[in-house]
Amino acid sequence: MALKKPSFEAEPTSTAADAGAPEGADTAVLERETAAPAAAAAPAAEQASTAIAVARSTAVSADRNEIAAKAKAFKAEVSAMRGAADFSYGAHRVFKAKDGAIKEMSGEKLKLGRWVQVQLLAWDRHFEISPGGDDKKSSAYVGYSSDGEVIDYVIGEEQREWIGKPVSEYLTYLIEQEDFPKAAKREFIDTQVAVLNSENEPDFHDIVQVSLSSSSIPAFRAYQSSLEAKARFAMTGIKPPPGLEMPENPFTFYYVTEDASKGSMSWTKLKIVSTLPAKF
């Protein structure tokens, strides 16, 4: 006697063929139903990946935009700094590099030492018409010109009749009539700076003028040129590699002294550096 199959085994299975559907349709339905969760997960993963990529791209763009904005601001500020201060005679305490140090030229004759840390506030250039001597008598003949063409000021009262007259004529007068054969016109860069620190006077803080002579001017122009080039690079949007980044504060730097010589002559000139050299 044959055993009766359990009802769950005997229960008929409904197939696509029974419903008149094409052969194999049941398999397709099953495959679609099975694949549905995976198919739904794929777009979600893709969306998440896209969102991360967009976020990263947005962050990078924001960084680049910030760098570019800083670069533009730097260029605008450099331009605005020129002529932004009064550099006429007596307007500031004046410091220059001399005898191996940065020292005040008159008044207290404060000696700041071999280096001074500053924040640049303004700058401009002027021309000094010097008789070529180093004594009290010759200092009275020192004249100043903002453009190198016309005398703006002369220290000695007796020579102030030359104010407003051509520099070339004043030089001729010094050489031929006052017997100053070494009289010459020299260019200077004047910088208005806030003194932040110095080697000899760490507690001295003031707004002063540091003037760079002709041999120190290349250092100032190199400082400007380097930062302007970095600013232009930053505006390309390319992430700068080490050495090409814009400094956090490009207007804070150190003036440091350096010995210079030519033939039998020797003098002190200034360099500009962003960090203080170890030798100091």
Q: Please calculate the CA angle 95-98-101 and round it to the nearest 5 degrees.
A: 80
Model confidence over 32-63: pLDDT tens digits? 555 555 555 556 666 656 655 555 555 556 66
- Going by their DSSP bridges, the two strands 111-113 and 153-154 should be labelled as unpaired
**Tokens standing for residue 261:** 């010589």
How far apart CA 120 and CA 194 sit, in angstroms, is: 7
CA torsion 5-9-10-15 (nearest 10°) is: -160
pLDDT grade for 196, boundaries at 50, 70 and 90:
very high
Q: Is 246 helix (H, G, I), strand (E, B) or coil?
A: coil
- pLDDT bin (cut points 50, 70, 90) of residue 240 is confident
**What is the pLDDT confidence band of residue 68, given thresholds at 50, 70 and 90?**
low
Kindly tell me if the per-residue pLDDT of 249 is higher than 80.
Answer: yes
In this prediction the pTM is 0.70
Q: Average pLDDT over the chain, rounded to whole?
A: 82
How many angstroms separate the CA atoms of 126 and 143, rounded? 11
Please check whether residue 167 is in contact with residue 152, taking contact to mean a CB–CB distance below 8 angstroms: no
Is it the case that residue 31 has pLDDT exceeding 80? no
Which stretches of the chain are assigned E, i.e. beta strand? Answer: 94-98, 101-104, 111-113, 115-130, 143-145, 153-154, 184-198, 207-212, 252-262, 265-273
Give residue 75's Cα distance to chain centre.
Answer: 9
Q: What is the pLDDT of residues 106-160, one digit of tens each?
A: 889 999 999 999 999 999 999 999 998 777 788 899 999 999 999 999 999 999 9
Provide the CA 104 distance to its chain's centre, in angstroms. 27
Q: How far is CA 252 from CA 49, 50, 78, 133, 144, in A?
A: 43, 42, 13, 35, 28
Identify the pLDDT of residue 116.
Answer: 98
56-64: Cβ within 8 A, 24+ apart: 60/239, 63/239, 64/237, 64/238, 64/239
Confidence of residue 3 (pLDDT cuts 50, 70, 90): very low
What percent of the chain shows pLDDT beyond 90?
53
Name the residue with higher pLDDT: 88 or 13: 88
CA distance 76 to 72: 6
**How large is the average pLDDT for residues 211-215?**
94
Q: What is the pLDDT of residue 13?
A: 47
* pLDDT computed for residue 279 by the predictor: 82
H helix intervals, 82-216: 136-139, 167-176
Contact 17, 23 (CB under 8 A): yes
Residue 220: the pLDDT is: 94
pLDDT for 14? 47
Average pLDDT of 80-108?
Answer: 92
Q: Where are the alpha helices (DSSP H) in 82-146?
A: 136-139
